[in-house]
Chain A
Amino acid sequence: AKPAFTDEAVQSLLYKMTGLNLEKVFKSAKKELKPPTYKLMTDAQLEEATRKAIAEAKERLRMPPVLNEREPINDVLADDKILEGTETAKYIFTDLTYSTPHNERFIVVREPSGVLRKATWEERDRMIQIFFPREGRKVIPPVLFKDEHLGNVFQQDRHEDLLNLCIAQFEPDSPDYIRVHHRTYDDIENHAKYDLLRSTRHFGGMVWYLVNRKKTDGLLIDMLHRDLLDDATSLITLYHMLHPECPSAKEAKEGNLQGVELIKVFVKTESQKEGYIQLALQAYEEAMATSTAS
């Protein structure tokens, strides 16, 4: 069966590709100004501190889940014609028991026409935010997430902040969340700004989206320009895992190719921008040759 986003192998590949730029992960979020603290350590203590930093970075780089869109709820519980015309507005009833998880809460709407129906997902999200407020969410989703304003954000290169806001505001399976994420990934791919997301927790999701739609060429070129051969090979192995019926996957399995060979086979069969990738490959090989020679 097709491997899902949450498989161990897939997650490990994506984590390797995300890179571990400690400076960027621990870049200070805007807080009160404090003079920096200096500590005096021996070498062993420094290693210990770097190890702890790597563990915490791994925590911070955990990817948010990628789920399918949730389906709209359309359940009618009762229809009481007696109540028709008695009221002027809808009533929304929310179950406020503290110990039920938010997915299982009863949130019911009684329309002025007497129809008693379950609330839609947007109404559910709003009510839950009103009665059980969560940090970083607003009751009405900010206007920023509409399509015309997303263009503005992209021009300012603030994709990462936008995606963090999106995670805080929406559920992972709401259509708004998915739409905003797809728009962001498309824009990054059109302008080849992969490096903006490289050390953040959104990189895995972006790679998953691109591989599912077979638009991996730009990312491959970017990796070759930065001499990241391991990342390129892991990208191609992921591609083969997801699309096992394509010719390059079969060739790779027969020959059990590694490294540069794998990329060449992939380039010949799958990619649209063959010329660019060949150029990048040649540049990389020349760079490798000069570095090994000198």
Chain B
Amino acid sequence: ALPAGPRLLKSYRGGHVVIRLALGGCTNRPFFRIVAAHNKRARDGKYLEQLGCLDPLPNAHGEKVAGLNLERLRHWLGCGAQLSRPAEKLLGRCG
């Protein structure tokens, strides 16, 4: 039987929430998801919430498409989340 409760919800000692880019997509085709997760989790593992996405390859019109859920971003930043270096760069670019 599935061990419920303590096994599924891992509690850390001294970890903190980070907003970072999780890599997904196929070979030679990266695709980032902007995600709020615990510091100690795997890069692509279970996250707390997805806050948006970034497509690093330019599309037919020469644009790199990015989406950001500003309302939830504000919530997590208010809760005291930290940003990874690429996430900082992205948010700096969008102003």
* Interface locus among A22-30, A87-95, A225-233: A87-95
Taken residue by residue from 67 to 104, chain A's Cβ proximity to chain B (1 for < 8 Å, 0 otherwise) reads as: 00000000001100001000011111111111100000
A38 to chain B minimum Cβ distance, whole angstroms, is 52
Q: Of all chain B residues, which has the CB nearest A95?
A: B70
Q: Which listed residue, B58, B61, B69, B94, touches A97 by the CB 8 Å rule? A: B69
Q: Are A97 and B71 in contact (CB under 8 A)?
A: yes
- Please tell me which one of the listed residues B52, B60, B65, B72 contacts residue A92 in the complex, with CB atoms under 8 A apart: B65
A74 CA to B55 CA, complexed, in Å: 25
Q: Which residues of B contact A90 (CB under 8 A)?
A: 58, 62-64
Residues of B within 8 A of A96 (CB): 52, 67-70
Residue of B nearest to A107 (CB): B67
Q: Would B66 and A92 count as touching, CB distance under 8 A?
A: yes
Let me know if A91 and B71 touch, CB within 8 A. Answer: no
The answer to whether B85 has its CB under 8 Å from any CB of chain A is: no
Nearest chain B CB to A127 CB, angstrom units: 7
In the complex, per-residue mask of B19-54: 1 if CB is within 8 Å of any chain A CB, else 0: 000000000000000000000000000000000100
CB distance from A78 to the nearest CB of B (A): 6
Kindly state whether residue B95 has any CB partner on chain A within 8 Å.
yes
Contact partners of A109 in chain B: CB under 8 A = 63
Q: Does A130 contact B (CB under 8 A)?
A: yes
Question: Are B66 and A94 closer than 8 Å at their CB atoms?
Answer: yes
Interface bits A120-150 vs B (CB < 8 Å: 1, else 0): 0001001100110000000010000000000
Q: Which residues of A contact B63 (CB under 8 A)?
A: 89-92, 109, 123
Residue of B nearest to A106 (CB): B70
B66 CB contacts on chain A under 8 angstroms: 91-94
5 contacts across the A-B interface (CB closer than 8 A): A89-B62, A93-B66, A95-B68, A96-B52, A110-B95
The tally of residues in A whose CB lies under 8 Å from a CB in B reads 26
User: Which residue of A is nearest B52, CB measured?
Assistant: A96
User: What 10 A-B pairs are tightest by C-beta distance, nearest first?
Assistant: A93-B94, A89-B58, A97-B71, A96-B69, A94-B67, A96-B67, A90-B63, A92-B63, A91-B64, A93-B66
Asked if A83 and B93 make an inter-chain contact with CB atoms under 8 angstroms apart, the answer reads yes
A78 partner residues in chain B, CB cutoff 8 A: 95
For window 225-277 of chain A, which residues contact chain B by CB distance below 8 Å? none
Which residues of chain B are near A127, meaning CB under 8 Å?
Answer: 65, 67
Complex Cα spacing A108 to B60, Å: 18
- When distances are taken between beta carbons in the complex, the residues of chain A under 8 Å from B52 are 96
CA distance A91 to B59 in the complex (A): 11
Chain B residues with CB below 8 A from A99, complex form: 71
Partner of A89, one of B64, B67, B70, B95: B64
Extra contacts besides A89-B62, A96-B67 (6): CB < 8 Å: A89-B58, A91-B64, A95-B69, A116-B95, A131-B67, A140-B60
In Å, the complex CA distance between A182 and B17 comes to 55
- In the bound complex, residues from chain B placing their C-beta under 8 Å from that of A88 are 58
Chain A residues positioned under 8 Å from B95 (CB to CB)? 77-78, 108, 110, 116
Q: Identify the interface centre among A78, A93, A95: most chain B CB within 10 Å of its CB.
A: A93
Contacts of A89 in B (CB 8 A): 58, 62-64
Task: Give B83-95 as 1s and 0s: 1 = Cβ < 8 Å from A's Cβ atoms.
Answer: 0000000000111
